[in-house]
Amino acid sequence: MRFIPLSESDRAHMLQTIGVASVSELFADVPDSALRSELLKIPEAMPEFDLAEYFENLAETNNPARPRNSFLGAGAYYHHVPAAVDQLLLRTEFFTCYTPYQPEVSQGTLMASYEFQTYTAGLFQMEVANASMYDGASALAEGVIMASRIRKRPKIVMSNLVNPAWRRVVETYTRYTGIEIVTVDDVATGASVSLVEAVDKSTAAVVVQSPNFLGVIEDLGSIRSACDAVDALMVVAVAEPVSLGILGGPGMFGADIVAGEGRSFGGSLSFGGPGLGMFAVKEKLARQMPGRLVGKTRDSRGRDGYVLTMATREQHIRRERATSNICSNQALCATAAAIHISLLGKRGLKELAEANLSACHYLADRIGSLEGFERACQRPFFNEVAIRLPVSPKVVNKRLARAGVTGGLDLSPCYPELNSTMLFCATEAHSKKSIDNLVEVLSEFEK
């Protein structure tokens, strides 16, 4: 294949057509610090064996996260994934990252996606779920846009206890849509108690996360009442679906739209990705839902069959009326989640959630017993807890790093008022010994 460079006249014509004066103007939104003027320093070509050795040497410079020695959560939680999950993913019936359009040759993948939808709807206690979204953050953004479109109102009231990274994604998605995001500050209380005060008749939806970014379990019932008073929709974000093994799903409290991150089932931290978006709605809103929906039917011989249903969606045929611009999903990750959940079963999921709850409460009690350390919020929590420290979190994390431990999240960049507070996470992967080791290092900072 030979590439022919554009002539100056062709280049000028293309720039004029798309409405920019120069190529550099195309990248005007990219910060100067991220632009590279020099060529990449790529090594010369080398034999395959040498190339493999080169990348192995690079890989050895990584410092992999060791689950029992890492207490960092904040939206990405380490859980044990049974070996059977990855082994089953290797089967050709499942091994694809796409939801297929040809049901006659893709029954395995479609069946797995259907089961994922069923598990998602069951976990969230909602009526309809789709065949997955990209990740929790973009799923929440899709839910916000959907709510504004349905209610035909511009205002979205959102708690600042929703994951800050998720909030930034929502703001990016909605920047040019006319949607107004009103963020309510409830960090001092640790729960979204002031959210209802910002709700009025121009509000399309109220957005809350439970357990929230500080690990606190929100009172969804009171938020539902505030929504009902002005006929607004209730959108709930779920960053840790394992919690639903012991907590009631958002649908139980009247949620209209639920967006979640499913990486805890069958996924891994993997330097931050891939994620797995979960999305569910009340049945009356199903036709407004973004993404793919797999349905179960019967073929001409009476056998079970799976197909993409409600397929005459605007995403496919009338793009100017599209409910969303999402054009794919996370089918492979969704399959992994479905396998993991099926291996757990209802009782196993409850036991997993109880193990997470026990581990984090043991961590909170042990750290709280140290002089100068105390919980930032005295409310029920799951998986992670905010702890006030007697010294700077940066100092603590440096000391923990020297001991081979990854500490919690310094909350000050997200919440300046919590400038001496750290968010610690513990799951079923953390043993009593690993938590005791953490506390032993922290004890050096006692007052």
The secondary structure of 32-88 as a DSSP string is GGG---SPP-PPPP--HHHHHHHHHHHHHT-----GGGB---TT-------HHHHHH
| Cα 303 to Cα 297: distance, rounded to the nearest angstrom | 8
Residues contacting residue 374 through CB under 8 Å, at least 6 positions apart: 368, 387, 388
| Short-list 193, 128, 120, 201, CA closest to 160 | 193
Superfamily covering domain 67-78+345-445: Aspartate Aminotransferase, domain 1 (3.90.1150.10)
User: Is 278:260 a contact under the CB 8 Å cutoff?
Assistant: yes
| Cα 185 to Cα 36: distance, rounded to the nearest angstrom | 38
pLDDT(311) > 80: no
Q: Would you state the pLDDT for residue 99?
A: 64
**pLDDT band per the 50, 70, 90 thresholds, residue 345:** very high
Q: Would you state the pLDDT for residue 123?
A: 97
Q: Picking from 42-51, 116-125, 151-160, 245-254, which range would have the lowest pLDDT averaged per residue?
A: 42-51
Q: Would you state the pLDDT for residue 207?
A: 98
CATH number, domain 83-341, options 3.40.190.10, 3.40.50.2020, 3.40.640.10, 3.30.365.10? 3.40.640.10
Question: What share of the chain in percent tops pLDDT 90?
Answer: 72
Residues contacting residue 441 through CB under 8 Å, at least 6 positions apart: 399, 400, 403, 405
pLDDT(272) > 80: no
Residue range 57-106, pLDDT digits in tens:
998 888 776 778 899 999 999 999 999 999 998 888 777 666 676 777 78
Q: Would you state the pLDDT for residue 34?
A: 86
Q: Would you state the pLDDT for residue 313?
A: 53
| Short-list 135, 204, 137, 198, CA closest to 164 | 137
* Cβ count near 22 (within 10 Å): 11
Average pLDDT over residues 320-339: 85
pLDDT(314) > 60: no
User: Is 277:136 a contact under the CB 8 Å cutoff?
Assistant: yes
pLDDT(1) > 70: no
HSE on the CB side for 213, CA within 13 Å? Answer: 23
Residue range 243-252, pLDDT digits in tens:
999 999 999 9
Q: Would you state the pLDDT for residue 104?
A: 73
Average pLDDT over residues 160-189: 95
Q: For the packed helices 107-124 and 331-368, what is the interaxial angle rounded to 10 degrees?
A: 30
Q: Would you state the pLDDT for residue 8?
A: 85
Q: Is pLDDT larger for residue 410 or for residue 315?
A: 410
Q: Would you state the pLDDT for residue 91?
A: 87
Considering the chain, what is the average pLDDT of its residues?
A: 91
Q: Is pLDDT larger for residue 207 or for residue 321?
A: 207
Q: Would you state the pLDDT for residue 2?
A: 56
pLDDT(142) > 80: yes
pLDDT(405) > 90: yes
Q: Picking from 15-24, 291-300, 324-333, 399-408, which range would have the lowest pLDDT averaged per residue?
A: 324-333
Q: Is pLDDT larger for residue 300 or for residue 278?
A: 278
Q: Would you state the pLDDT for residue 245?
A: 97
Q: Would you state the pLDDT for residue 363?
A: 97
Instruction: Strand 233-238: give its sheet, edge to edge.
Output: 128-129, 277-281, 257-261, 233-238, 203-209, 155-159, 180-184
pLDDT(430) > 70: yes
Domain boundaries along the sequence of the chain:
67-78+345-445, 83-341
Torsions phi, psi for 305 (to 5 deg): -145, 155
Average pLDDT over residues 372-389: 96
Location of structure tokens 């103007």: 25
User: Is 155:147 a contact under the CB 8 Å cutoff?
Assistant: no
**pLDDT band per the 50, 70, 90 thresholds, residue 312:** low
pLDDT(133) > 80: yes
Question: What share of the chain in percent tops pLDDT 70?
Answer: 95
Q: Would you state the pLDDT for residue 3?
A: 59
Question: Which of 83-97, 174-188, 307-321 reaches the highest mean pLDDT?
Answer: 174-188
